[in-house]
A = this chain, B = another copy of it.
Amino acid sequence: MDGDETRLRILDAARSCFAAHGYAATTNRMIADRAELTAAAVYHHFGKKPDLMIAVHRATEELYRTRILTAVEAADDFVDKLVALVDVIHDTISNDPEQALFYSVARDEARRHPELKEIEEDRTFPQLFAEIVDMGVQAGVLGSDDVLLARGAVATVATGLAMLARDTTVEAHAIASEGAKRLLLGSLLRTPVP
């Protein structure tokens, strides 16, 4: 029996359950059933419940991070990088809304349950956004005194898009994404966009 594939099945199942029912209301059996396994098997692979939650969070974040970085690095111009950033966020959310839902649920639950503090303290996205903003500084399109402001702006827009996904249709989200692009391009960059 393939261990890696099993781990993936468990992660998937756990993400669905946590997203749908929250941390406290999700039982190990629910996850195990969904993954077509025993609860003991879940333990074998991920240990205790908070560990599993953290693992799902890490996996989700890792996936996001890779996708975003890849997309941003593929774009040449910094302007294109920002556009690519918003696009990849929108695409990811649209293709798998459950992941976005899990992500925001995880943030909520981390605030409540001390055992999840690793999630609360996680800095993946701030760091990622800082890296992206730094690209702009190095390209000379962003003033170094605007760095903090710019990071905040990128974070706000990204978080906003993620939150929006909880109640919005795909179409509305697409429109919001367009708006987000305008916002980022228009207000952040020195050189006005044609």
A6-38 CB mask vs B (1 if < 8 Å, else 0) is 000000000000001111110000000000000
Which of B20, B24, B108 is A24 in contact with, Cβ under 8 Å? B24
Which residue from chain B places its CB closest to the CB of A166 in the assembled complex?
Answer: B108
Contacts of A113 in B (CB 8 A): 25
In Å, the complex CA distance between A113 and B22 comes to 10
Interface: A48 (CB within 8 A): no
Tell me whether A112 and B21 are in contact (CB under 8 A): yes
Indicate how many identical chains form the complex.
Answer: 4
A179 CB to nearest B CB, Å:
15
Distance between Cα atoms of A109 and B109 in the complex (Å): 13
Q: Determine the residue in chain B with the shortest Cβ distance to A25.
A: B24
A112 in complex: contacting residue of B22, B108, B109, B112, CB < 8 Å? B22
What is the CA–CA distance of A145 and B112 in the complex, to the nearest angstrom?
45
Binary CB contact string for chain A from 108 to 127 against chain B (1 if under 8 A, 0 otherwise): 11001100000000000000
Query: In whole angstroms, how far apart are the Cα atoms of A25 and B110 in the complex?
Result: 13
Q: Which residue of B lies closest to A163 (CB)?
A: B163
Q: Which of A122-145 contact B (CB under 8 A)?
A: none
A22 CA to B108 CA, complexed, in Å: 10
- Residue pair A22, B20 in contact (C-beta under 8 Å): no
**Would you give the shortest CB distance from A51 to chain B, in whole angstroms?**
18
Contacts of A112 in B (CB 8 A): 20-22, 25
| Closest Cβ–Cβ distance, residue A61 to chain B (whole Å) | 20
Residues of B within 8 A of A24 (CB): 21-22, 24-25
Kindly list the 4 A-B residue pairs having the minimum CB-CB distance in the complex, ordered from nearest.
A24-B25, A24-B24, A21-B112, A22-B112
Can you give 13 A-B contacts (C-beta < 8 A)?
A20-B112, A21-B24, A22-B22, A22-B24, A22-B108, A22-B109, A22-B112, A23-B25, A24-B24, A24-B25, A25-B112, A25-B113, A108-B108
